Chain A
Amino acid sequence: MKQKSEERQLMALVFVASLAPAIRLMPDFCADKGGGLGFLAPLIALPVLIVYVCILSAFLSMRNEGEGLGELIVRLSGRGLGSAVLILGSAFLLFSCGFILRSGAERFVSTVYPTANELPFAIVMLVIGTLAALGKPEALLRSAKIFSSVLLFVLAVLLLFSLPDIKFDLIKPKESVDIGGLVLAAVPTAEIYSGIFAYAAVFETGGEKPPRRALRYSVFAAAVCLLLALLCLASIGSYGAPLVSRLSHPFFTLIRNITIFRTFEHIEALVVTMWVLPDFIIFALMLSAAIRFWGLVLPGSKLFENKRVGGLICAAVAAGAMLLIPGDADSLRRFSELIVPLANIAVVWVLFPLCFAVAAIKRRRSA
């Protein structure tokens, strides 16, 4: 029972944490690369995600009680390689934390508070996220479970009011279907979710190993991909791919145009504010994962003996990264579409699988 509840909380953590990067990147990127059929991109990414979930589940099946992904990497792939991977991984996580702070603040400013300064939003998120990362992971998981219900309800309402306005003319391919473009459009889904699946596995430390983990996470991934496809369909079907690809925040533009029963309108401020929840969860998730990685890289170090000192240093590094990232829309787009995804792919699809492979080889030899 406890194991099932932990698994649900982890899935909620993945879902909520993924919403911040997914909504930032996906509708416009999918429309830009995939055209009218770009909404299919999340579904195209599903097989890749299932493969990743299977690899990750196979690796996690080797863990002992109290071990998460980080501990497993160090134990099975060796101290040297494991530490190197965790250092690179945590460097990316802290850089990502900085990017989340910057992009979350920019979203507020560009959608609701056009004349505001970004810093107060970023500082508030930094403080609250750091407090959460320094606390017990169980609290973060429970928060994610609560937030996931709220966000799912909001997304369901938005889909209900935006899907009927879809113009199927706008999603029909004009000439031949650009398969290459569609595959490229699927990259963000695969990249974001494989990353968050892996980082959430850092907290998968329960004693009992869930049976048929791969199957359950694959079903979960399918549901999430379907939801993302519907969100992209709502955007692309309402405005057409070229317009969506030109908008900075197509999802929030879509919300701005929603009128509920000719009574409620301009609900975008409320929804943008709710997107603080995914920002908070992904920031806290990545920061705690980075702290945990450093704790494993420097075992016995006084800095990480007391999680708080090390945690505060990590938070300071994230804040520094945030200050170094330029705040203009063009730069943020470049970071969001190129730099962060490439770094994430390098960690999740190169470094982690390298450790999995080394662990598998070692296991075969010892057998």
Chain B
Amino acid sequence: MMRRLTAILLALSLLITLSGCSGGSVYSNLRETEELSVIDAIGLDRSEDGFTLSVASGTKVSQSADAKSIALARERLQELSPREQLFFAHAKFVAVGEKTAEESLTPVLDCVERSNDLRLNTPVIIIADDEAKTLLTKTEDSVSMLRSYERECEKRGDCRIFSASEIISSLDRYGFALASRVRLKFDDKGKVTAILPDGYSLIKDSRELAHIPSKEAACVELITNRAGPFFTELELGDAKAVLQLNESKCRLEDGVLKLELKASLYELEGSAKKEELERAYSEELKSRIEKLLELAERTDCDYLKLGGWVERLRVSSELKYGYDLEA
């Protein structure tokens, strides 16, 4: 009995020494929460010297550092924050400057893949015609803006934010991938006031090969059967209309890409017949899809995941009257 008790006590005493919250812990991993600076967003840009790493943590922290490598830049950033330890495990976004995306995304994706603390499903966003540093350091609260943008994307359903793992696995498997692209809006003082969707970047061999504008990006979602209730503006002579997508179904059958749409009329200025609206809606989406197909052919990237040759495109739409027209 005594021996058993001794064994249990010995085992328990060993467990106490392993406690992460204990100051007398046997390992050096103790981190007090109040001494951590929890990073919400990371920005990576190529610089003349190597890389610029920017970080943002709510409204509290917003800084950047240049170094020859991402790891060294991270160390420099830590030196700028001597009182608090930068904690990357909760990073929600990785922003990348367009120049970096044009040169190569490999260092950025490698950084996420090899990191012990960053998560593979962290969303990656490319900043159009600008640097990630601009977003993270010239914004009052870049993290709230990014979160709001993410929610907006989910709601609208015409653009997606791709995660690092989605980009890496697509590059591994197909040699190309899509990445979300945003454009920054500035006020007169040069401060970022909004993040606007700017379609997708087509990445091939880890480089940004082409830009798919927002309107066409919505059709990528249509073709991959992931589209949400996004709006489409139409012009029919003097009349202007806005339609909202209700349902869509896309399939490729014997070389014919068939897209069936159901939409509601959301706004109408002037007058237009139902058939005219349906035709204009079909034509508008058809022209956007044709551009996507042309890009897929030109770049030899089946980013629409059609897996087959498209000989003809057939878009049919059915319009339901919206409340605006009835009003």
> Which stretch in B48-56, B58-66, B164-172, B189-197 binds the other chain?
B164-172
Residues of A within 8 A of B113 (CB): 243, 246-247
Residues of B within 8 A of A257 (CB): 119-121, 165
Is A115 part of the contact surface with B, judged by Cβ < 8 Å? yes
Contact with A along B292-318 (1 / 0, CB 8 A): 000000000000010000000000000
B28 touches which of A116, A128, A243 (Cβ 8 Å):
A116
Total residues of chain A contacting the partner, CB 8 A: 28
Give residues of chain A (207-255) contacting chain B, Cβ–Cβ below 8 Å: 238-240, 242-243, 246-247, 253
A116 touches which of B14, B29, B121, B172 (Cβ 8 Å):
B29
Total residues of chain B contacting the partner, CB 8 A: 25
CB distance from B119 to the nearest CB of A (A): 5
A240 to B7, CA, bound (A): 46
Residues of B within 8 A of A239 (CB): 120, 165, 168-169
CB distance from A290 to the nearest CB of B (A): 20
A266 touches B27 (CB 8 A): no
Is A169 part of the contact surface with B, judged by Cβ < 8 Å? yes
Is A113 part of the contact surface with B, judged by Cβ < 8 Å? yes
Is B173 part of the contact surface with A, judged by Cβ < 8 Å? yes
Is B17 part of the contact surface with A, judged by Cβ < 8 Å? yes
Is B239 part of the contact surface with A, judged by Cβ < 8 Å? no
A91 to B84, CA, bound (A): 50
B169 touches A127 (CB 8 A): no
A169 to B172, CA, bound (A): 12
CB distance from A250 to the nearest CB of B (A): 10
Residues of A within 8 A of B111 (CB): none
Is B80 part of the contact surface with A, judged by Cβ < 8 Å? no
Is A299 part of the contact surface with B, judged by Cβ < 8 Å? no
Is B236 part of the contact surface with A, judged by Cβ < 8 Å? no
CB distance from B108 to the nearest CB of A (A): 15
Residues of B within 8 A of A246 (CB): 113
Q: List 9 A-B residue pairs with CB atoms under 8 Å apart, sorted by A's residue number.
A: A114-B117, A120-B26, A128-B11, A128-B14, A169-B173, A174-B173, A239-B169, A242-B172, A266-B89
Across chains A and B, which 9 residue pairs bring their CB atoms closest together, nearest first? Answer: A240-B169, A116-B27, A242-B172, A120-B26, A257-B121, A113-B29, A124-B14, A114-B116, A116-B29
